[in-house]
Amino acid sequence: MIPKQKLGATGLEVTRLGYGSMGLRGPNTWGVRVVDDEQSDSFLNLVLDSGINFIDTAPAYGVVEERIGRAISHRREEFYVATKCGCDYVQHEDCLELKFTMKPDVVKRDIETSLRRMKTDYIDLLQFHGGDAETLEREGLIDLVQDFKAQGLIRHIGISSKGKELGELLAMEVFEVFQVPYSCLAPQEESTMSVIANTGAGIIVRGGVAHGGPDAEIERPLLNQIWEESKLDELVPPDNTKAQFILRHTLSNPQAGTIIVGTCNPDHMKENIAAVESGPLSESLTEAVNRRVKEFYSENYG
């Protein structure tokens, strides 16, 4: 069984492994993975059948919201859905034209469209898809989404962000959940996660499996370099893949309420579930990983 954890003070008891749905974005968007409607419907039901109860999506992810509505809206009581706003998009015949615009008309359209597409009466967590504190306040967007919350159409308000923006966003004291990137190969937000957790806000981790690790179908040269020069191969238990090892390290951070991992491959999802069910790495192994990666960053970035 996949363990659960409270998502900050929201009261949402989420599975520590969540599902990031971008891989189901479909054709005429971007990237090399294309999943048809039948495959997508089957996969979304498999997510729920496997015990995962948290699905992260966005209007920017092509037809994903429509697919969620078609495939699993009749199972709405089985999962929490987190979507985003500030996605200014136009779906052309052969591509998705996308930019992120923090304006009232865009945010309002995103919320109303997401509710309709997903065939739901409410959104468990609405996240700004980026944005900075000054813009959100100037455009009146906090008041706008709080009005939707007062109507019962949104239950909780969050933001997906990283880097220097996080400090000012935290100071606004309005966000119940923060979505941040984090893994052993990209630990830059670790200290900020501690600050967020101390405020009582929940944390969603994206990138918690480091895009699949060194064995991923799509290679990330920098992540591979960090892995190789940190000699992490020496630490991987014989019964773990590299991706499972990375995910178990992310699980070792108790501040990660749910770790959203995206895939459209049933075998990969089963591997992720097996890793989560086996639990976090031991304290000594976690410290060894942290020490080696810290040495890499110190030697290469000062």
Cα(24)–Cα(41) distance, integer angstroms? 9
Backbone region of residue 8 per phi and psi (left: phi > 0; alpha: psi in -120 to 50; beta: other values): left
Residues near 41 by Cβ (< 8 Å), separated by ≥ 6?
Answer: 67, 70, 71
Residues near 211 by Cβ (< 8 Å), separated by ≥ 6?
Answer: 218, 220, 223
Tracing tokens 């997401």 back to the chain, one arrives at 114
Query: What's the pLDDT score for residue 247?
Result: 97
Domains and CATH numbers, the chain: 4-213+253-279 (3.20.20.100)
pLDDT tens track for 210-258: 888 888 777 789 999 999 999 999 999 999 999 999 999 999 999 999 9
SS3 84: strand
Give the chain's end-to-end CA distance (angstroms, integer).
Answer: 42
Residues near 25 by Cβ (< 8 Å), separated by ≥ 6?
Answer: 31, 61, 62, 63, 64, 96
Tracing tokens 């989560």 back to the chain, one arrives at 276
**Mean pLDDT of all residues in 164-176:** 96
pLDDT tens track for 21-66: 998 987 666 565 678 999 999 999 999 999 999 999 999 888 999 9
**Mean pLDDT of all residues in 178-195:** 96
Question: Model's pTM, two decimal places?
Answer: 0.95
Round the CA-based radius of gyration of the chain to a whole number and report it: 19
16 token code pair = 């520590």
**Mean pLDDT of all residues in 112-125:** 98
For residue 106, pLDDT beyond 80: yes
Least Cα distance to 31 among 67, 62, 69, 56 occurs for 62
For residue 182, pLDDT beyond 60: yes
30 token code pair = 């971007």
Strand partners, 56: 20, 82
